Amino acid sequence: MSDPVRILGISGSLRAGSYNSAALRAAQALAPEGVQFEFAEIGDLPLYDDDQRHQAFPPAVLRLEQQIRSADAVLFASPEYNYSISGVLKNAIDWLSRLDHQPFAGKAAGIIGASGGLLGTARAQYHLRQIGVFLDLRFMNRPEVMIGGAQNRFDSSGTLTDAATREILAKFVAALRDWALAHRRQAPLKQ
Ligand code: FNR
């Protein structure tokens, strides 16, 4: 049997009832055989402090670094806050970006997102893609998964019930598996 494809889900929401965390769990449930999910914890990272960085990186950042390094792909699901990604996610990215040989370089990645509005985090997703240019993340372009009207697509326990959204999310995870496999053999570019 070949090695499983390891996907690390990173939610930009700390809310227990988060639609974005629920979307990541739905992606796991809809994943094809041979895909293994793990979920990152970013709520315990301190606020980015460049002085602290010069003394020592916080253990929570180093833990996250290892999770990213051992994943074949990272899957982000961020709320849209004021037309961008959440501050919690940006804080985590800022810490990780200052590590030696920062772990996002050359890493396959995908983005999904859910919001109550019509656009389903479209604006935040495009901000994250822009951040990914600096990080040298290798974002998959399509399919895009922007879950608008989230309150009508998840039930009260956070299960994704909308059939059309389940279908596109299943296609997305299969495509991300293929994208991750295509990147497995590629070394990251020199920083
Ligand atoms: C929001 N929300 C929001 N929604 C949106 O579509 N565009 C936006 O710019 C914003 N801005 C925004 C800012 C702040 C500070 C909050 C708290 C909320 C609504 C947001 O998308 C909604 O609360 C989601 O449900 C949050 O995601 P989780 O926590 O359910 O994953």
- pLDDT single digits (tens) 133-169: 999 999 999 999 999 999 999 999 999 999 999 999 9
Find the residues whose C-beta lies inside 6 A of ligand 1: 13, 15, 18-20, 79-83, 115-117
Cα–Cα–Cα angle for 145, 35, 75, rounded to 5 degrees: 40
Predicted confidence band of residue 190 (pLDDT cuts 50, 70, 90): low
Q: Is the pLDDT of residue 187 over 80?
A: no
Nearest CA to ligand 1 atom 24: 115
Which has the closest alpha carbon to 80: 20, 135, 33?
20
- Mean per-residue pLDDT for 178-187? 86
Centroid of ligand 1 to alpha carbon of 99 (angstroms): 30
Q: What percent of the chain has pLDDT over 90?
A: 95
Centroid of ligand 1 to alpha carbon of 141 (angstroms): 23
Distance separating alpha carbons of residues 105 and 58, to the nearest angstrom:
20
Distance separating alpha carbons of residues 165 and 101, to the nearest angstrom:
37
Centroid of ligand 1 to alpha carbon of 34 (angstroms): 33
Model pLDDT, residue 2 = 78
pLDDT tens digit sequence for 111-134: 999 999 999 999 999 999 999 999
Hey, which of 76, 80, 88, 119 would you mutate to test ligand 1's pocket, going by the most ligand atoms within 8 Å of its Cβ? 80
Model pLDDT, residue 189 = 54
Nearest CA to ligand 1 atom 21: 115
Model pLDDT, residue 1 = 58
Predicted confidence band of residue 184 (pLDDT cuts 50, 70, 90): confident
Q: Is the pLDDT of residue 94 over 60?
A: yes
CA atoms lying within 13 Å on the CB side of residue 165: 24
Measured from the CA of 120, which atom of ligand 1 is nearest?
A: 6
DSSP secondary structure, the chain, as one string: -PPPEEEEEEES---TT-HHHHHHHHHHHTPPTTEEEEE---TTPPPP-HHHHHH---HHHHHHHHHHHT-SEEEEE---BTTB--HHHHHHHHHHHTSTT-TTTT-EEEEEEE-SSSSTTHHHHHHHHHHHHHHT-EE--SS-EEE-SGGGTB-TTS-B--HHHHHHHHHHHHHHHHHHHHHHTPPPPP-
Distance separating alpha carbons of residues 177 and 170, to the nearest angstrom:
11
Centroid of ligand 1 to alpha carbon of 127 (angstroms): 15
- Mean per-residue pLDDT for 28-49? 98
Whole-prediction pTM: 0.96
